């Protein structure tokens, strides 16, 4: 296979993978699981990520929550089998009331403009073969957008996202697909003036599946694309480089 043909094939796989990830996300939302590629011991991976959360159901028919987030990613290899994952950036929140006759938050759809956000987590490699890997991970994201006024009432919001995942992957050299299971919870913390309400995501939809892939561009750089489904609606894309 020539270099030109290989490049075209890789591009088609990227487009196909992003489309499939978004389609799978149409029934899913939680923090990205990062995949099974960990940084080498005492090496740093730097990346840029966009994470789109679509229509996460809240408990007790309290409507839905969406968010668009952009992060700088930092992952450090503490050992060959353990990584520390950090992220910082910005994100917004949109909270939609339910469609029935008794909407939450007085029936207002609230859009909070993007402001600061960040997160942390870790991944542990449980199994490592030449081509097959298994990784357990924990990730947390917190988004703090700008407050907004509805009439004369100040509305403030925070998004708290928690996730545990177990993933397995198979290395095809030019593509590493992975899949696994996850448990997630996303909370919407809402203040009307000084009155605070915490609304959890629907706990009946906390278990879900993750599918994704890593596409290498040389030995140190790769693209990650991931979709999540069954529990929420989310897709994440990142470009990463290991130093």
Task: Report the length, in residues, of the chain.
Answer: 243
Residue 121 domain boundaries: 3-242
Q: For CA atoms 105, 108, 111, 115, give the dihedral sign.
A: negative
Question: Looking at residue 33, what is its pLDDT?
Answer: 75
In this prediction the pTM is 0.79
| CATH number (domain holding residue 191) | 2.40.160.20
Question: Looking at residue 35, what is its pLDDT?
Answer: 87
The residues of the chain scoring below 50 in pLDDT are 4-9, 11-13, 15-29, 100-105
Give CA–CA dist 181/131, Å, rounded: 20
As for how many domains the chain has, the answer is 1
pLDDT in tens, 81-105: 999 999 999 999 998 877 643 444 4
Task: Look up residue 206 and give its two tokens.
Answer: 């906390």
């Amino acid at each position: 296979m020539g270099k030109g043909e290989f490049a075209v094939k890789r591009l088609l796989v990227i487009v196909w993978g992003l489309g499939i990830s978004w389609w799978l996300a149409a029934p899913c939302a939680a923090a990205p699981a990062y995949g099974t590629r960990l940084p080498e011991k005492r090496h740093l991976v730097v990346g840029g990520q966009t994470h789109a959360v679509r229509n996460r159901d809240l408990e007790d028919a309290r409507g839905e929550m969406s968010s668009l987030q952009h992060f700088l990613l930092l992952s450090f290899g503490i050992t060959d089998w353990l990584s520390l994952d950090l992220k910082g950036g910005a994100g917004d929140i949109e909270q939609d009331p339910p469609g029935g006759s008794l909407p939450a938050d007085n029936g207002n759809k609230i859009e909070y403009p993007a402001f600061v956000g960040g997160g942390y987590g870790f991944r542990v490699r449980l199994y490592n073969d030449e081509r097959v890997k298994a990784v357990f991970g924990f990730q947390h994201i917190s988004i703090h957008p700008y407050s907004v006024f509805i009439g004369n009432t100040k509305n403030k919001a925070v998004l708290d996202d928690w996730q545990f995942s177990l993933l397995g992957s198979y290395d095809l050299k030019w593509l590493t697909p992975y899949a696994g299971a996850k448990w997630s919870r996303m909370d919407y913390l809402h203040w009307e003036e000084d009155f605070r309400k915490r609304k959890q995501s629907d706990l009946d939809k906390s278990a879900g599946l993750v599918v994704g892939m890593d596409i290498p561009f040389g030995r140190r750089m790769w693209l990650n694309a991931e979709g999540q489904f069954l529990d929420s609606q989310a897709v994440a894309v990142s470009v990463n480089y290991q130093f």
